[in-house]
Amino acid sequence: MDYSIETRPIEILSCDCIIIGVYQNQQLIPSGTALSDNLQKLTTKVFKRGDLSGKIGETVMLNVVPGSGVERLLLVGLGENKPLSAKNYRKILAAAIANLKKPAIKSVACSLTDIAVENCNLAWKVRQIVEVFNDAVYQFTALKSDKETESKLQHVTIAVAESDLGEAKQGLVQGIAIAEGVNFAKQLADLPGNICTPTYLAEQAAELTKNYLEISVHVLEESDMTTLGMGSFLSVSRGSRQPAKLIVMEYQGDEIRAKPVVLVGKGLTFDSGGISLKPGLGMDEMKYDMCGGAAVMGALLAAAKMQLPINIVGLIPSSENMPDGDANKPGDIVTSMSGKTIEVLNTDAEGRLILCDTLTYAEKFHPDIVIDLATLTGACLVALGRVPSGLLGNDDDLCNALIKAGEAACDSVWRLPLWEEYQEQLKSNFADLANIGGKDAGTITAACFLSHFTKNYRWAHLDIAGTAWRSGQNKGATGRPVPLLSQYLIDRVNEKH
């Protein structure tokens, strides 16, 4: 789908459908009033008939518009005539695009940038149009024989005033970059475990370098990890026939000596639980245990597309967690790269085992800050549901910056405490650390475990177990937290300049 900005009046654009907003008091947005004298009369009629009340997200499609050259008109309810919340703005966009999945509609013009949104500028609105529309038309058809998609939408024209052109273009560039990063992450995540293996993930990372010259990739093999002493990471992959990979991606947008942001993403391409085998129901969803890794790739792609003047390192430890004869057994003790020994009391707490060695490896890049993202604990779903990602970290400034970025990007996070009292739960009788902390506060004890390996830099951890994909009928990857990470990187660049 392509997106463009248009400053000419919306009525002279030729397209299959125009989207117009209307408030509960029957007031049209300014571009609607300009459209035709008839339109207000028409809208009043629609209201009178009871087909529209103007509630937020309500829609009516007029597929004949007498007295104008317009092909179709989609009226979208905007609620009360006052500035909308960011969330309601997104709701309206989602409602609009849901009505445009008809084969006859190939191009639309959208002037919903006219609407006032609390604390949000035009660039943000343009960006949200691109992101929400992009999300809605995504379909995973790679493995279906019939690739027919429900949407034929090709062109989206975003109408703005002449004087707003510069700002709109900036929003467009960001929106397109983030949308592409999100799509990339979703496509990878929706692939099944038998196709998206650690080797495949590494190949896809390498593939990115073809289109983005500022990105370079190299991959550490198991033999390299043995040399580095990554006994914890390797203990997980021993249970699987697929060789593990540690994918190292570097995006250089700044001068070489500028300290990088290091993003670490859990890339477990299938988590069966290992010998501590998971129950069968819903186990297929554990193909999504690589969503952290996919989001790291998506964020690097977005940064490269925006050409952000910043250095970023992406580290993706990738493995399967399977119950082979050589797999970790409960009670096994492994030695991490840091030298700390770990008692593997539950082989299903494998994410932290591959992350800890990667977090130690991250020191090599002299990071300014490190953010890891992982589908780490089912407990995060219990605590926070599927709305925000869990956030924990050892640096308040970093955590606050991520909270702020999450709000702006509508990809929210909620901070949980990383207090030392919880460390008690990770004590082992036989090793330096246990890999599980009992049934209480599972998300926190998982982060406590990681904190033993992040002492030498400022660090934040995002538990994306509840946000990286949807279950049930709409099962599918969300691409989160690519928008959040992209926003954080944009904010950093803006602060520096």
Determine the interface stretch with ligand BES among 15-23, 113-121, 130-138, 376-384 (rule: CB under 6 A).
Answer: 376-384
For Zn ion, how many residues bind (rule: CB under 5 A)?
A: 4
Among 76-84, 235-243, 271-279, 486-494, the segment contacting Zn ion (CB under 5 A): 271-279
If one asks whether residue 351 binds ligand BES (CB under 6 A), the answer comes out as yes
Contacts to ligand BES from residues 439-468, by CB under 6 A: 442, 465
Q: 260 and 241 in contact (C-beta within 8 Å)?
A: no
Q: Is position 278 annotated as part of the catalytic site?
A: yes
Rounded to the nearest angstrom, the gap between the alpha carbon of residue 346 and the centroid of all alpha carbons in its chain is 29
Q: 102: which 2 tokens?
A: 């008809």
Q: Nearer Cβ to Mn ion, position 31 or 318?
A: 318
Q: Does 411 bind ligand BES (CB under 6 A)?
A: no
Q: Does 304 bind ligand BES (CB under 6 A)?
A: no
The amino acid at 93 = L
Catalytic: which of 266, 287, 352, 480?
352
CA 155/CA 197 separation, integer angstroms? 35
CB nearer ligand BES, residue 14 or residue 471: 471
From the CB of 237, what's the least distance to ligand BES, in Å? 14
Query: Are residues 181 and 265 in contact, defined by beta-carbon separation less than 8 angstroms?
Result: no
**Burial classification of residue 385, based on how many CB atoms lie within 10 Å of its CB (0-12 exposed, 13-18 middle, 19 or more buried):** exposed
CA distance to 386, 413, 416, 436, per residue, from 380 (Å): 9, 12, 10, 15
| Element of type H or E holding 384 | helix 378-384
Contacts of 12 (CB under 8 A, 6+ apart): none
- The residue sitting closest to ligand BES, measured at its beta carbon, is 378
Candidate list 91, 278, 470, 475, residue with the active-site label: 278
Binding status of residue 180 toward Zn ion by CB under 5 A: no
Q: Is 372 in the site for Zn ion (CB under 5 A)?
A: no
Strands (E), 328-427: 332-335, 341-344, 369-374, 389-393, 413-415
Q: Does 348 bind Mn ion (CB under 5 A)?
A: yes
Residue 350 makes contact with ligand BES by CB under 6 A: yes
Which runs of E-coded beta strand occur in 241-307? 245-252, 261-265, 267-271
271 makes contact with Mn ion (CB under 5 A)? yes
Choose the stretch contacting ligand BES; rule: CB under 6 A; options: 69-77, 154-162, 298-306, 371-379: 371-379
Q: Is 269 in the site for ligand BES (CB under 6 A)?
A: no
Q: Is 348 in the site for ligand BES (CB under 6 A)?
A: yes
- Could you please report the per-residue DSSP string of 192-217? -TTTS-HHHHHHHHHHHHHH-TTEEE
DSSP annotation of 468: S
Contact residues: Mn ion, CB under 5 A: 271, 348, 350
Contact residues: ligand BES, CB under 6 A: 271, 289, 346, 348-351, 375-379, 381, 436, 442, 465
Active site residues: 278, 352
